[in-house]
Chain A
C-alpha cells in the first residue's frame, strides 16, 4: 500500500480537486484506492456525494480501528472508497499533541486498512502542524499544488524549509503548477523561475485554471469522470501519469 498526500500549506490552490481526480485516476487504473478526507471542511466527500461521517471522532480515527474502517464508504466508482471528513477533525492537532508518539499515529491508523487498498490518498488541511508532520512521515509522496504567484512561491519554500528542519526526505515532495492562467505574464515568469530553482521537485504536468474544475462543485464528480477530454481532464491525466512514473518503484 502506498500513501499519497495532497498537501499545501496554503488554501485555495486546487488541492482537493487534485486529490479527487488523482483518486479517480488511481481507481480507474485498477488500483484499490481509498481517499481520506482529513480536511474538516469535507470537500472531497462532497465531490463524491458522500455525507459526512457523524460517528468518526478524532479518538476513533487514531485508536479505534473498527470505527475507522466502518466509516469508509464506497464511491459510485469501481475501486474507489472514501473516508469522509468530520468537523471534529479540526481538533486533530490538539488531540495528537496530547498523545504519546504523536508523530507516527497516522501511519499506525492507516495500517488498519493496509490489506484493503493499494493506494491511500490523503486530502490534507492547509496548515503546517503536528498533523502535517504526521502526514509527511506517513506518506510515500506529498503532492503539492503551487499557483505560480509570489505568495505561493513563499509557502512552497516554507514547506521545503519545514522538511529540512525536521529532517524529512525531500524526495517525497512532488510539486506541480496549478490554476495556471495563460494570459498572466507573471504566471509564465514564476513557472520558469521555480522550475529552474527546484528542477527535481517540480513536475512537468500543469493544471490550467478551468471552468470544468470550478464546475466540479455543481456536477459533484471528478473532471476525469465527466470531462476526460477537456483541457483540465487531460491535464489531470498527465499529472497522474507523471506521478505514477515518479512514485511506482
Chain B
C-alpha cells in the first residue's frame, strides 16, 4: 500500500542527477508517460494556499489539491470556475472551506505537464520504493518537477533512502519552500497586512515614512486586480491602504511639516474619492444573500430588480475606475507620491519628527483611549446615532496606531487589548452598517427615475429599511454594554500599564 509522505520539488537537472546513480544498491529507473496535459496552478492573490502549504492544480478538467499531508484530492471542475464557491460539491471544495470566498483563484503558472515515475529496483527487478513525478513546463518561467515519494509496505528503509537522496539532490519540501518563486523569480508575495519592523528608538518621522511607503506599495500591487476586475478584495485592500496612509498623516501630528501634511492629506483623499461608488456597490452585491433572507419571499422580486440595477451600475463604475487608474494623471500622481516616501528627501520634518516611536506611540494610544473612555461615559440608550458614529471613528483612531506600533510593545498584553478593541469595533461596525444602509437604500430609492419595477423596488427597500432599523436598535444596547467593559477599571489599568506607566491617569 502507498503510505502518506511529503511532496518535494526540484529542477529538471536535479532530477536527472538524482536518477543518475544507484541509491543504496538499488537502481533508479525513470519512466515518463507519453501523454501531456495542460495544467494551471491556482492560488489567491495573497497566496493563501501556498502559505497553508497546499497546491491547487487544474489539469485538463480536473481540479487537484495536494494537501499538507501529501494526499491528493481531486474532483471535476468547470474551466471557468474563478472562486472556490463556484466549485461543485466534492473533496477539493470541502478541503478549501477555509479559503476566502471573496478571493478569486488566479493562475500562478500554466503550461503543459507530464506524469512519470521514479522506481528503485533490486537485482531481481522488484521495486522497493517509488516516487510519483510531475514535470511542469510553464509557458513562461522555469520547468520544475514535483516528486511524491511513495513507500511500499515492508520496504521502509528504501523509502527513507530515497527521501534522503531527494533532499541531498536539492529537493525542497513543498511545505517549506516557495515553488511559485522557483517557477518565476518575479512572483510577488502579497501581504495585505504587512508586519513592519519598528524599533523603539526609531524616530517618529522614520516610522511614519516607512509605514506610508509600505502601504503605498500595497496600493500599487492592487491596481492590476481592480483594473481587470479580478475580485472585489483588490479594491477593498487598495482603499484600506489609502485610509491607513491618511490616518498616519492625521495621527502623527507634527511629524511632518504642517503644510506638507495638509497637502498630502488632500492628495491622498483625492485618490480615494473615485473608488467610493464602486466599493459601495460591491458591498451591497456581496450582501445580496443576507438581504434576501431579511425580507419575506413576496418582496424578493423587488430585490431582484434592485440588484440587477446595481449590477449594471457596477459594470459602469468598474469601467470608469479602471480607466481612471490607467490614465496618465493618476499614474503620475501615484508615482510622485511613491517616490516622495521612498526617497524621503523632499519630505519636510515637523516639530515632533525626531521623537522616538515608542514615546510617540505611548502618548498617541493613551490619548486616544482616554478620549474613548470620556465619550463612553456619556452614552446610553438615548444617545443620538451621530454620537455613536463619532465613537466609532474614535475607535478607528485608536485601532490604527495600535496596529502600526504593535511591534514595539510586549505581544501578549498588547494583543489582548487589541482583541477587546476589535470586539467593540465589530459591534459598532454592525450598528453603523445598519444606519448607513438605511440612508443609502433610501437614497437609492430617491434616485430612481422612472426605472422599470420602480414600485416593486421601493416596496422591497421599504421593508428592508424597517428590518435594518430593528437591528440597529438591538445593536445599540450591545454597544452600551461593550463600552462599559472597554472603559472598565481593569481595562484602564491594562492600558495604563502598557502605555502610561510613568504618568498619572
Contacts and interface: CB of A to CB of B under 8 A. Distances in A.
Interface of A: 32, 48-51, 70-76, 78-79, 81, 116, 220
Interface in B373-410: none
8 contacts: A49-B122, A49-B125, A71-B154, A72-B154, A73-B152, A74-B155, A79-B1, A81-B154
Interface in B288-340: none
Contacts of B151: 74
B2 A73 contact: no
A66 to B, nearest CB: 13
Contact of B154 (A32, A49, A74, A220): A74
A73 B129 CA distance: 11
Contacts of A49: 122, 124-126
A70 B155 CA distance: 10
A74 B124 contact: no
Interface of B: 1-2, 119, 122, 124-127, 151-155
Given A79-B1, A116-B1, A220 B153 contact: no
A74 B152 CA distance: 5
Contacts of B2: 78
Nearest to B129: A74
A220 B125 contact: yes
A76 B1 contact: no
Contact of B155 (A48, A73, A78): A73
Given A74-B1, A81-B1, A50 B126 contact: yes
Contacts of A70: 154
A81 B153 CA distance: 7
A49 B124 CA distance: 6
A74 B153 contact: yes
A47 to B, nearest CB: 11
A76 B121 CA distance: 10
B126 A32 contact: no
A72 B119 CA distance: 19
Contacts of B122: 49
A51 B124 contact: yes
Name which of A50, A72, A76, A116 has the most chain B CB atoms within 10 A of its CB.
A76
Given A73-B154, A74-B154, 4 more contacts: A48-B126, A49-B126, A74-B155, A79-B1
Nearest to B152: A74
Shortest 9 CB-CB contacts between residues of A and residues of B: A74-B152, A49-B126, A73-B154, A74-B153, A76-B127, A49-B124, A81-B153, A72-B153, A72-B154
